[in-house]
Every structure is written in C-alpha cells, then in structure tokens.
Amino acid sequence: MQTTIRVSGLEKSYGTLNVIKKIDITVAGGEVYGLLGANGAGKSTTIECILGTRKADRGEISILGMNPQKERKKLFEQVGVQFQEANYPDKIKVNELCEETACLYKSPADYDGLLKQFGLAEKKSSPVSELSGGQKQRLFIVLALIPNPRVVFLDELTTGLDTKARRSVWKSLQELKGKGLTVFLTSHFMDEVEELCDRIGILKDGEFVFCGTVAEAVEKSPYDRLEDAYLWFTGEEKDENE
C-alpha cells in the first residue's frame, strides 16, 4: 500500500524545551491514523510541523510525496485541514463561506452535498456566528472536505457534538475512507479512536510511548479497555489514583 504521510526524525524545541523528540510516523493511503496524548504532549506542534505551518528543527516530512513547505500550493490542492479554532468575518453565512472556500480549489467537492451529509443543509443561509458549537464543528469538517482532498487532518473531530451527531460524523468518515481518503486525526475520545482508527500513536512529553493498532495497545497494557490502556501509557492513571 502506498505511503501517504511519512515523518522521519522530527524534532522541535522552543529554547531549552524539547517539545518533539525524534518522532517517526508512516500513514498508508486510505488509513485512519490517530495521534493521541494529553494536552501539552506535543500533538498540535507535531501536526503543525507535518503541515509545514511551523518549521521543524530537524527531520524529513512528506505528504503525498511532497514537501509541505517547498511544494505548499500544489500539496494543499489535495489536503484538507480542520482546526478547532477558526475565525471568520462576523456576518458571513454558511453558504458564502463554503463558496469562498470552494473558489480556492480547481476541483472542489459539491458543498451542498457535504452540508446535507453533515446535517447542515437547513443552515445554509444562516450566519456562521449563529450556529451552535456542534454545528460549527460540523461546518469546519465540511470546509476541510471541500477541497476534495486525498488526505484530511482533523483536530478534535467531534468535540461539542452530541452522541447522535458524533455517530453520524463517524459514518460519513468511514464512507470517505472506503473511497480511499487518508485521515490523520487527534482525539480525546477513546470510543471514537476504537471506531475509526486503524493505527494510533500515543505521545508523552514529545515522544511516542506506543505505536500500533488499538488491539496491540490494549494487549501491551495490564488492562482490557483502550481508555485504561491509554491512561497507563501516558501515566495519567497514576494522577487519577493519587
């Protein structure tokens, strides 16, 4: 299977603080990869370095065989990104924001279809500022998919969504994965990770303490549930018991 994302020897420091320490990641085409870790473990910095929005100190990075800093324009024709925090003009409407986003790409996806798929068709003419937190989250996923990408990066995918909406988003992503989309996500929800991820990497203090499948993570821990295994790998289990 073709490698879509390759990261080798990634390092990033701020002054004397080593935020990322020699990280290696390989993600195959059509795979869902989950980057896990507590807040401050280095997840956001890792994603920013992979996307080229932050310059790594050391390491080699390629997405779809391209360097994210040197071949930025060509690469981002094929990559979608959803961030948790996003700022848009105050009165802009949902359909206007979708249209503006679609105009940036040569072969965008049908955003009307995406809005329907993610339960936002009735909000097309609503100002983005009037959407609920969960609706905004779903809109940000739609915006990440408008480029018709081969790879999509999703940060805290279903934060703020109720159970029904979360399951609907999972189903949509699984359908897109079935069509060959590669997904790189971060999540604090272990049921989401179990449902979606083919492989995971667990970060602790900027280093991987585990890489492999969900089943392997459970197998290598003293527990039989991913949530407990995750807490054991990250050391958060001790904090809970103190």
Tokens of 8: 């080798």
Mean pLDDT over all residues of the chain?
91
Q: Give me the pLDDT at residue 89, please.
A: 78
Query: Which range of residues forms the domain containing residue 112?
Result: 81-149
> Do 118 and 192 share a structural domain?
no
Q: Which pTM value belongs to this model? A: 0.91
Whether pLDDT at 11 is above 70: yes
123-136 pLDDT, tens digit each: 999 999 999 888 88
Q: Please tell me whether residues 122 and 227 are part of one structural domain.
A: no
State yes or no: pLDDT of 82 exceeds 90: no
User: What is the per-residue pLDDT for 86?
Assistant: 67
Question: Which pLDDT tens digit goes with each residue over 183-230?
Answer: 999 999 999 999 999 999 999 999 999 999 999 999 999 999 999 999
- 148-166 per-position pLDDT tens digit: 999 999 988 888 788 888 8
| CATH number for position 182 | 3.40.50.300
179 and 120 share one domain: no
Last residue of a domain, one of 149, 175, 198: 149
Task: Please choose, from the candidates 183, 122, 180, 179, the residue with its C-alpha nearest in 3D space to the C-alpha of residue 158.
Answer: 183
Task: Say whether both 161 and 64 belong to one domain.
Answer: yes
Number of independent structural domains in the chain: 2
Band (pLDDT 50/70/90 cuts) for residue 60 is very high
91 pLDDT band, cuts 50/70/90, is confident
pLDDT at 240: 52
Percent of the chain with pLDDT over 90: 69
Asked if the model's pLDDT at residue 96 lies above 60, the reply is: yes
Confidence of residue 78 (pLDDT cuts 50, 70, 90): very high
Q: Does 158 share its domain with 230?
A: yes
Strand partners, 151: 79, 182
Whether residue 172 is found in the same domain as residue 211: yes
| Cα(133)–Cα(25) distance, integer angstroms | 32
74 and 161, same domain (yes or no): yes
Q: Do 26 and 102 belong to one domain?
A: no
pLDDT at position 90 over 60: yes
111 CB burial (10 A radius; 0-12, 13-18, 19+): buried
The average pLDDT across 41-47 equals 90
pLDDT surpassing 60 at residue 139 = yes
Other CB atoms within a 10 A radius of the CB of residue 106 amount to 7
pLDDT for position 156: 84
% residues pLDDT > 70 (the chain) = 95
Same-domain status, 105 and 63: no
Please identify, among 134, 149, 164, the residue that sits at the C-terminal boundary of a domain. Answer: 149
Output the pLDDT for position 62. 96
Whether 187 and 138 share a structural domain: no
